[in-house]
Structure 1
Amino acid sequence: MVAIKAHEAERTLARLDPAWRLILFYGPDAGLVSERGAALARTSVDDPLDAFQLVRMDGDSVAADPLKLVDEANTIGLFGGRRAIRVSPTSKPLLAAVEPLIAAPSQDALVIIEAGDLQRTNPLRTACERARTALAVPCYGDAARDLGSIIDEMVRAAGKSIDRNSREHLASLLGGDRQTSRREIEKLLLYAGGDTQITESHIDAIVGDTAQREQNMLVDAVFAGKLPVLDLAQAKLSSEGLDPGVMLGAVLRQALILLKARQSVEAGKAIKEVVGGMRLPYPRIATMEAALAAWNSAKLTEAVTLLGNAVLATRQNAETGRAGATRALWTLARLARSSRSD
């Protein structure tokens, strides 16, 4: 049985057991799944540009005709050499295509399967974890430590440097998807131009959005019941001229997101599983998990109604609407505090 933890992935992939002839990459981080699949495919053949050595197959086509993958895996290369088959993600079941290759592994080709966020009981994941000839590799969103390594790697490759505080600041703004994080860092490096030191001013100019962060602070304070933080965030946003209706709109959007997520939780899904599928920036994961634990569907439905009425009031009368917006936000924050104490 070969089942590894997410933090063991890089070390395991660097020392692949030759007995593993089928590698399954799965998880909520589609960017990381793709990146690892592509990297393994490149190192598993002599010439990644040779279509006879590196074969790409559509996951939907394989699911529709499982024997396609079996036939391709057992095809002997015309010119010899190492071969790899990379199967793209699909929402359709691939177990019928994979089972024959687990039972009788291809000696000529390494088969790489890319998949989405598979549950622990998913038949494909279970089959690969139990097989001696396969390896299942979980791909979860980048933790802060992983993001730090990616930042250092890319900054160094660009011939630049970044201090610890700036690196931590950048990591706090990046998301949980590996490819998206890399694109943001690439934009940052391009923006820095000839500057050899990446600073927080560079980061805030191209990656960070101060107003957005303050708005997020207000939203999070409401659903966490943090009244002093809510007061501070609302004061800052008001001083910057942000319309109360916009503030309410941001909180309403979050309430709707939480309501949909909470309904999934109440249908039987684990909170971590639901939040993991959202691809949130790393620092917001714990905040979202805490909000889902504190609020149930009934209270979130009540919050949506309250916020909808407050938004309408601000549109009908700006002056009275401003006071109504404050009252609505504080009412919800107090409701959150009572939820925590229930």
Structure 2
Amino acid sequence: MKASAVQIRAAVDAPKPETRLYLFHGPDEAGASDLAARLARALGPEAERIDIDMKALREQPGRLADEAASMSLFGGVRYVRVQGIEEGAAEAVTLLLNAERAGNPVVAIGPGLKASGKLVKMAIAAPAAMAHACYVPEGVDAARLASTVAREHGLRLTGDVPQRLASASGGDRAILAREIEKLALYLDAAHDRPRDADGVALDAIGADLNDVELHHAIDAVIDGRVADIGSELAHLSEGGGSAIPLLRQLARRLMTLAELRSDMDSGISSDEVIEKHRIFFREKAAYSRALRRWNSPQIARALDRVRQTERALMHSASAGEVLADAECTAIARAAARARG
């Protein structure tokens, strides 16, 4: 079934045995990951997580259904997670939904899936599945998200603080959560000791999300300015920027660019495409340059590499910030060679 935001939050907070698949698609990968984490919390701290990647699903389509039906060695709760699910998993999902039994829920995150694609339609049509589109919150929704996350940390945001936090984080839940955690620590807030957080408190923690540095670094990558990328990344690091926000904002830029380029491929001029998508006037020149430089396959490859790098950063044994810097440099070099 197709689930609204309210329905999916209720579903993951109190999972039902008959729901075999939770499919989260759309560009807000951070939001999808948050929903997956809520499901994990609802299943309990002892729940065992089984990770399956797309390579395994292509080679062994039946594995998803097998893992969903398998019992833990000690009889505990299990669930299956698929990061970066793609249309190529259709056979695996079909086997899962048609299996005689499947006691372990599957949560699948597919930021690259389209609502019109086969996989999403399959999940919407299936009584044993829930599909939810995750979009980056904007405007009132973003401010409401800031207030919701703050309440989880014992904070009551007052005045224009919700809007300021929402605007500064650009709808990125990871950045938003980080700033709210800093604010809660500063005010010594918690569930059992709630605190009011006003503009004075926000100013006091120096909530500077490095918007300018982040924007300049991403511009250098997309423009293929290899000579500048090193200094831009250094400025970002000096200002307290980190790899995850950089990669997520870069991914969003590439996704927007992919949408624009897709319209161009159908015969619309770059100027018409930019007007159609209501690109902010200060960004029109940058998008115009990028559309002349990048073609659709190149954008898709770059986006895939950015997502793979972010996932690699999540592993405790990763090289950390170096991975992001190296990938940004590699994409900048590819952009320097690219001609859309």
Q: TM-score, normalised by structure 1?
A: 0.57
Instruction: Supply the distance in 1 between the matched residues of 2:160 and 2:51 (Cα, whole angstroms).
Output: 42
Instruction: Supply the distance in 1 between the matched residues of 2:255 and 2:73 (Cα, whole angstroms).
Output: 53
Residue 267 (structure 1) aligns with: 265
Matched, 1:131 2:118: no
Give the unaligned 5+ runs of structure 2: 190-194, 217-253, 293-340
Residue 334 (structure 1) aligns with: none
Whether the 8 Å contact between 2:124 and 2:130 is mirrored in structure 1 is: yes
Whether the 8 Å contact between 1:41 and 1:86 is mirrored in structure 2 is: no
Whether the 8 Å contact between 1:45 and 1:83 is mirrored in structure 2 is: no
Match of 1:97 among 92, 103, 111: 92
Whether the 8 Å contact between 1:161 and 1:198 is mirrored in structure 2 is: yes
Residue 166 of structure 1 aligns with an amino acid whose one-letter code is V
1:93 and 1:181, CA in 2 relative to 1: closer, same or farther beyond 3 A? farther
Alignment of 1:145-294 (within 5 A): 145-190=140-185, 197-203=196-202, 206-208=206-208, 212=212, 262-268=260-266, 289-291=277-279
Whether the 8 Å contact between 2:153 and 2:181 is mirrored in structure 1 is: no
Residue 158 of structure 2 aligns with an amino acid whose one-letter code is D
Residue 147 of structure 1 aligns with an amino acid whose one-letter code is A
Post-superposition shift, 1:100? 0.5
Whether the 8 Å contact between 1:41 and 1:85 is mirrored in structure 2 is: no
Whether the 8 Å contact between 1:20 and 1:135 is mirrored in structure 2 is: yes
Instruction: Supply the distance in 2 between the matched residues of 1:211 and 1:78 (Cα, whole angstroms).
Output: 48
Matched, 1:9 2:8: yes
1:26 and 1:72, CA in 2 relative to 1: closer, same or farther beyond 3 A? same
Post-superposition shift, 1:31? 0.6
- Structure ID, larger Rg: 1
The SS at the match of 2:114 is: coil
Alignment of 1:68-147 (within 5 A): 68-91=63-86, 93-104=88-99, 106-147=101-142
My pick for the range that moved more, 78-87 or 22-31, is: 78-87
Whether the 8 Å contact between 1:86 and 1:113 is mirrored in structure 2 is: yes
C-alpha offsets along residues 281-340 of structure 1, whole Å, 9 cap, x if unaligned? xxxxxx9942389x999x946xx9xxxxxxxxxxxxxxxxxxxxxxxxxxxxxxxxxxxx
Post-superposition shift, 1:265? 2.6
Q: Quick one: higher RCO (CA 8 Å, sep 6+), 1 or 2?
A: 1
Q: TM-score, normalised by structure 2?
A: 0.57
Residue 80 of structure 1 aligns with an amino acid whose one-letter code is G
Post-superposition shift, 1:30? 0.8
Aligned residue pairs total 247
C-alpha offsets along residues 31-76 of structure 1, whole Å, 9 cap, x if unaligned? 111111122133235613xxxx332223433333222222222223
C-alpha offsets along residues 4-45 of structure 1, whole Å, 9 cap, x if unaligned? 344643244445554221111111111111111122133235
Give the unaligned 5+ runs of structure 1: 217-255, 276-286, 305-342
1:81 and 1:160, CA in 2 relative to 1: closer, same or farther beyond 3 A? closer
Instruction: Supply the distance in 1 between the matched residues of 2:84 and 2:3 (Cα, whole angstroms).
Output: 21
Post-superposition shift, 1:111? 1.5
Residue 109 of structure 1 aligns with an amino acid whose one-letter code is N
Residue 20 (structure 1) aligns with: 19
Residue 62 (structure 1) aligns with: 57
Instruction: Supply the distance in 1 between the matched residues of 2:38 and 2:76 (Cα, whole angstroms).
Output: 18
Alignment of 1:296-311 (within 5 A): 300=288
Q: Percent identity?
A: 26
C-alpha offsets along residues 69-105 of structure 1, whole Å, 9 cap, x if unaligned? 2222222333334321112224562112111111125
Residue 245 (structure 2) aligns with: none
